[in-house]
């Protein structure tokens, strides 16, 4: 039985990955700062902090592959707490890499399209210039470069998966699609940040499949691989599309409090999936509308449960 440690396994993408690994027959440990019920009955939960090496070291003993997803991912949080974000995302990644080298484990490292900043050309391939526009993005660039350096310096088997905007069930409301869905479930008025940016959204099941493939492709070792759809939608159009599916006619407004600082806003992201297709044999399978409908259904069911009988 193959063994895996998933850091951040209780998170949005991590919990879906834990389920997929268990269903594929892996033995899985989920490593998180707080205890949460396992995402799958066959997974084992470990409480620990990636910032503390001893806890990472103990968790990694006997593990074949580490899927490293633990991170502080909120961009607004990174404006207020840049030190904490850097310690978790960069120093935490360093601990993962050092422990993986000690225990001879492969690392599937998670990046983010935010490291590119606003698109200088589209679609954006892996050679697109890097340009942090937030402390969060800067911390992830540091983490990515640490992962690359451990592969080049020590021969550590590392694959970096760079997802564009992921969405689906269980996602936090701080992300734009859950925020829109939850807002429309509660009110006819919808308040969002900037409405003009364009994003490339991928359903979470497709993103998770890319992680699984990355762990199984020897030719992917040492590579950074973009994972997206190559299709974009403006946030204002996204809100109207979700409203259409939900049968709502909302009053959509921009909220100054929810906007990024002007120079920090990433105006456009659009993924070039050529390398993922060639290297991993990956391409998205869930259509955007189907993914939205499945996400909306999940949030509706959750609202019903919270409302009670």
Summarised one tens digit per residue, pLDDT across range 64-74 is 999 999 999 99
CATH of the domain at 98: 3.40.50.720
Let me know: does 55 contact 32? Beta carbons within 8 Å. Answer: no
- Which single residue is written with the structure tokens 């509706």? 300
pLDDT of 36 reads 87
In a domain, 89, yes or no: yes
Please state the rounded mean pLDDT for residues 252-278: 96
pLDDT of 242 reads 98
Indicate if the pLDDT at residue 305 is higher than 90.
Answer: no
| pTM more than 0.85 | yes
Cβ neighbours, 10 Å, residue 195: 15
Active site residue 136: yes
Using alpha carbons, select from 38, 41, 33, 42 the residue that is nearest to residue 15: 38
More confident residue, 146 or 187: 146
In a domain, 178, yes or no: no
Please state the rounded mean pLDDT for residues 229-243: 98
Please state the rounded mean pLDDT for residues 225-250: 97
Please state the rounded mean pLDDT for residues 166-180: 96
Please state the rounded mean pLDDT for residues 24-40: 93
Confidence bin at 50 (pLDDT 50/70/90): very high
Indicate if the pLDDT at residue 245 is higher than 60.
Answer: yes
In a domain, 260, yes or no: no
pLDDT of 38 reads 81
In a domain, 247, yes or no: no
Using alpha carbons, select from 34, 102, 92, 97 the residue that is nearest to residue 66: 97
pLDDT of 231 reads 98
- Mean residue pLDDT across the chain: 96
Long-range contacts of 113-118 (CB under 8 A, 24+ apart): 113/162, 113/163, 113/164, 113/165, 113/200, 113/226, 113/228, 113/269, 113/271, 114/75, 114/140, 114/266, 115/140, 115/141, 115/144, 115/162, 116/266, 116/269, 117/266, 118/265, 118/266, 118/267, 118/268
pLDDT of 306 reads 58
Indicate if the pLDDT at residue 185 is higher than 60.
Answer: yes
Q: Are strands 3-7 and 43-47 parallel, antiparallel or unpaired?
A: unpaired
Residues in the chain: 309
In a domain, 127, yes or no: yes
In terms of Cβ atoms closer than 10 Å to its own Cβ (0-12, 13-18, 19+), residue 290 is exposed
More confident residue, 32 or 257: 32
**Collapsing DSSP states into helix, strand and coil, what is residue 35?**
coil
In a domain, 113, yes or no: yes
The string of DSSP letters for 88-128 reads IIIIHHHHHHHHHHHHT-EEEEE--GGGG-S-SSSSB-TTS
Range of the domain at 224: 3-167+202-230+269-285
pLDDT tens digits, 99-112: 999 999 999 999 99
In a domain, 119, yes or no: yes
d(C-alpha 162, C-alpha 144), whole Å = 10
The pair of structure tokens assigned to 147 is: 């992962």
d(C-alpha 134, C-alpha 201), whole Å = 20
How many secondary structure helices (H) and strands (E) does the chain include?
Answer: 11, 13
Candidates 79, 136, 154, 196; catalytic one: 136
In a domain, 18, yes or no: yes
Number of domains in the chain: 1
């Amino acid at each position: 039985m193959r063994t895996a440690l998933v850091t951040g396994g209780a998170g949005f993408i991590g919990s879906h990955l834990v389920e997929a690994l268990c269903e594929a027959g892996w033995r899985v440990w989920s490593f998180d700062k707080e205890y949460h019920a396992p995402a799958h009955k066959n997974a084992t939960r470990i409480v620990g902090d990636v910032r503390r090496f001893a806890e990472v070291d103990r968790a990694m003993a006997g593990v074949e592959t580490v899927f490293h997803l633990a991170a502080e991912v909120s961009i607004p949080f990174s404006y207020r707490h840049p030190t904490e974000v850097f310690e978790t995302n960069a120093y935490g990644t360093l601990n993962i890499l050092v422990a993986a080298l000690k225990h001879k484990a492969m690392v599937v490292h998670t990046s983010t399209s935010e490291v590119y900043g606003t698109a200088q050309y589209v679609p954006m391939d892996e050679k697109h210039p890097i340009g942090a526009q937030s402390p969060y993005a800067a911390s992830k660039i540091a983490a990515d470069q640490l992962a690359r350096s451990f592969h080049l310096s020590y021969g550590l088997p590392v694959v970096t998966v760079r997802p564009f905007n992921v969405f689906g069930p269980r996602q936090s409301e701080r992300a734009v699609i859950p925020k829109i869905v939850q807002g429309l479930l509660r009110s006819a008025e919808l308040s969002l940040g900037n409405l003009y940016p364009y994003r490339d959204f991928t359903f979470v099941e497709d993103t998770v499949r890319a992680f699984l493939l990355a762990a199984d492709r020897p030719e992917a070792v040492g590579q950074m691989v973009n994972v997206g759809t190559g299709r974009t939608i403006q946030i204002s159009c996204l809100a109207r599309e979700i409203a259409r599916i939900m049968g709502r006619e909302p009053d959509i407004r921009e909220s100054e409090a929810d906007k990024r600082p002007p120079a920090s806003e990433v105006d456009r992201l659009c993924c070039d999936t050529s390398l993922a297709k060639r290297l991993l044999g990956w391409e998205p399978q869930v259509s955007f509308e189907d993914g939205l409908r499945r996400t909306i259904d999940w949030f509706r069911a959750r609202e019903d449960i919270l409302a009670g009988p």
